[in-house]
Amino acid sequence: MFRSRSWFGGPWGGRPKNRLSLEHLKYLYSILEKNTTVSESNRGLLVESLRCIAEILIWGDQHDSLVFDFFLEKNMLSYFLHIMRQKSGGSSFVCVQLLQTLNILFENIRNETSLYYLLSNNHVNSIMVHKFDFSDEDVMGYYILFLKTLSLKLNTHTIHFFYNEHTNDFPLYTEAIKFFNHPESMVRIAVRTISLNVYKVQNASMLRFIRDKTAAPYFSNLVWFIGKHILELDTCVRTDIDHQSNQKLSNLVAEHLDHLHYLSDILLLDIKDLNAVLTEHLLHKLFVPLYIFSLTPAPPPPSLAVVTQNLAAVLNRNVDIDIQEMHNPRVSSIVALYLLSLVFLVVTHAPLVHALAWVILNGDHSVFKEGAAEILNSYVEHREVVVPGFGEPHESLEQALDTVIGHTSTSASSGADAVSEDSGVESTPAASSSPINRHIETVAEAAATRLRNITDEEKQRLQQTSSTSTQGYVELAKPFLDTVLQALDCTENDYLALLSLCLIYAMSHNRGMKNEWFEQVLSKSMHGSFSYRTALIEHLLNIITQSSQPSCRIRLITVEIALELLLTFTKSAADEAPCITATQQGLLFGARNQSMVVLRNFYKSEDIFLDLFEDEYNEMRKSQLNVEFLCMDSTILLPPTGTPLTGIGFTRRLPCGEVEKARRAIRVYFLLRRTCQKFLNEKESLLPLTNVVNLVQVDNVLDLNNSDLIACTVVAKDNTKQRRFLVIDALQLILVEPDAKLLGWGVAKFVGFLQDVEVQGDKDDSRCLHITVHRGGVTHNRTPLLSAKFLFDDHIRCMAAKQRLTKGRSKARQKKMYQIAQLIEIPGQLDSPLYPVCGTSAHSAGAGNTRLVQKGGLTANRVPGFAAVLRSNNSAGVSRTQMAQNRSLEGLRNESGGRSRRRSPMATGSPSSLRPDSGGMLDRDRSPSMSGGSHSSSQSRENSQARSSGNRSREGSPRMPRPRSEEIPLEDFQHSRNNSPHSRSGALGNPSPSSRSHTPSRMLHYDQISVHNASPREPSMLIGGTNALLNPLNGGVTIAREVLPLQSSEETSFIGNDGDAAADNRRKGRGTIETV
Partner 1 sequence: MSYAYLFKYIIIGDTGVGKSCLLLQFTDKRFQPVHDLTIGVEFGARMITIDGKQIKLQIWDTAGQEAFRSITRSYYRGAAGALLVYDITRRETFNHLTTWLEDARQHSNSNMVIMLIGNKSDLDSRREVKKEEGEAFAREHGLVFMETSARTAANVEEAFINTAKEIYEKIQEGVFDINNEANGIKIGQQATPTNPALPGSGGAGGAANSGCC
Residue type, 443: V
What does DSSP assign to residue 754? G
- In whole angstroms, what is the distance from residue 926 CA to residue 975 CA? 11
Of 145 and 733, which CB lies nearer to partner 1 in the complex structure? 145
Q: Considering the complex, what minimum distance in angstroms separates the CB of residue 542 from partner 1?
A: 35
Q: Rounded to the nearest 5°, which phi and psi values hold at 799?
A: -60, -45
CB of 785 to partner 1, least distance (A): 19
- Bridge partners (DSSP) of residue 213 are none
Nearer to partner 1, 128 or 870 (CB): 128
DSSP state letters, 396-452:
-HHHHHHHHHH-SS----SSTTS--HHHHHHH-GGGS-TTHHHHHHHHHHHHHHHHH
Q: How far is the CB of 144 from partner 1 (least distance, A)?
A: 8
Tell me the closest approach of the beta carbon of residue 8 to partner 1, in angstroms: 12
Rounded Cα distance between 112 and 119, Å, is 11
* Cβ-based nearer residue to partner 1, 58 or 612: 58
Quote the least distance from Cβ 38 to partner 1, whole Å: 19
Amino acid at 657: G
**For the CA atoms of 390, 396, 402, 408, what is the dihedral angle to 10 degrees?**
-20
Q: Give the residue with the Cβ less far from partner 1, 281 or 797.
A: 281
Q: Output the smallest distance, CB 48 to partner 1, in A.
A: 8
User: Looking at beta carbons only, is 185 or 442 nearer to partner 1?
Assistant: 185
Write down the least CB distance from residue 146 to partner 1, Å: 9
In the complex, the smallest distance separating the C-beta of residue 245 from partner 1, rounded to whole angstroms, is: 10
Nearest to 984, CA basis, from 974, 994, 996: 994
Q: Which is nearer to partner 1, 255 or 482 (CB)?
A: 255
- Residue 520 in contact with residue 457, Cβ under 8 Å? no
Residue 419 — left, alpha, or beta (φ > 0 → left; ψ -120 to 50 → alpha)?
beta
Shortest distance (Å) from residue 103 CB to partner 1: 5
Min dist CB 18 to partner 1, Å, is 11
68 burial (CB, 10 Å; 0-12 / 13-18 / 19+) is buried
Distance of CA 350 to the CA centre of its chain: 27
Measured from the CB of residue 625, what is the shortest distance to partner 1 in angstroms? 18
Nearer to partner 1 by Cβ, of 48 and 614: the residue is 48
Other Cβ atoms less than 10 A from the Cβ of 606: the count is 12
Q: List 310's β-bridge partners, or say none.
A: none
C-alpha torsion 27→32→35→38, nearest 10: 140
**Which CB, 99 or 730, lies closer to partner 1?**
99
Closest distance to partner 1 from the beta carbon of 250 (Å): 9
Question: In the complex with partner 1, which residue's Cβ is closer, 2 or 530?
Answer: 2
Mind giving me the DSSP string for 966-1011? Answer: THHHHHHHHS-S--GGG--HHHHS-HHHHHHTHHHHHHHHHHHHHH
716: DSSP letter: -
Q: Is 163 helix (H, G, I), strand (E, B) or coil?
A: coil
- Longest C-alpha distance within the chain, in Å? 125
Shortest Å distance, C-beta 99 to partner 1:
9
Nearer to partner 1, 103 or 548 (CB): 103
Q: Which is nearer to partner 1, 251 or 766 (CB)?
A: 251
Report the sign of the C-alpha dihedral through residues 155, 156, 162, 168, in that order. positive
From the CB of 104, what's the least distance to partner 1, in Å? Answer: 5
| CA gap 1063, 797 in Å, rounded | 11
Task: Please give the torsion angle defined by the CA atoms of residues 210, 216, 222 and 223, in that order, rounded to the nearest 10 degrees.
Answer: 140
Name beta bridge partners: 758: 772
Minimum CB–partner distance for residue 264 and partner 1 (Å): 7
Cβ-based nearer residue to partner 1, 137 or 445: 137
- For residues 731 and 812, the answer to whether their CB atoms sit within 8 Å is yes
Contact 1076, 935 (CB under 8 A): yes
Q: What is the CA radius of gyration of the chain?
A: 41
Calpha distance 948→937 (Å, rounded) = 16
Q: Which long-range contacts (CB under 8 A, 24 or more apart) does 310-315 make?
A: none
Rounded to a whole number of angstroms, the minimum distance from the CB of residue 694 to partner 1 is: 32
- Identify whether 688 is preceded by a cis peptide bond (ω within 30 of 0): yes
Query: Considering beta carbons, is residue 119 or 1003 the nearer one to partner 1?
Result: 119
Least distance between partner 1 and beta carbon 91 (Å): 13
- Given a contact cutoff of 8 angstroms between Cβ atoms, the answer to whether 953 and 944 are in contact is no
DSSP state of 744: T
Cα dihedral sign, 676-679-685-687: positive
Q: How far is the CB of 78 from partner 1 (least distance, A)?
A: 23
166/511 with CB nearer partner 1: 511
Core vs surface per residue 183-206: b (16+ CB within 10 A) or e? eeeebbebbbbbbebbbebebeeb
User: Cβ closer to partner 1: 192 or 281?
Assistant: 192
From CA 153, how far away is CA 465, in angstroms rounded? Answer: 58
Residue 247 vs 720, nearer CB to partner 1: 247
Report the run of H or E that residue 711 belongs to, with start and end: strand 710-715
Residue closer to partner 1 by CB (options 192, 272) is: 192
Nearer of residues 245 and 1052 to partner 1, judged by Cβ:
245
Amino acid present at 859: T
Query: How does DSSP assign 495-506, residue by residue?
Result: HHHHHHHHHHHH
Q: Which residues bind partner 1 (CB under 8 A)?
A: 1-4, 19-20, 48, 51, 54-55, 58-59, 62-63, 100, 103-104, 107-108, 137-138, 141-142, 145, 148-149, 152, 185-186, 189-190, 192-193, 196, 247-248, 251, 254-255, 257-258, 261-262, 264-265
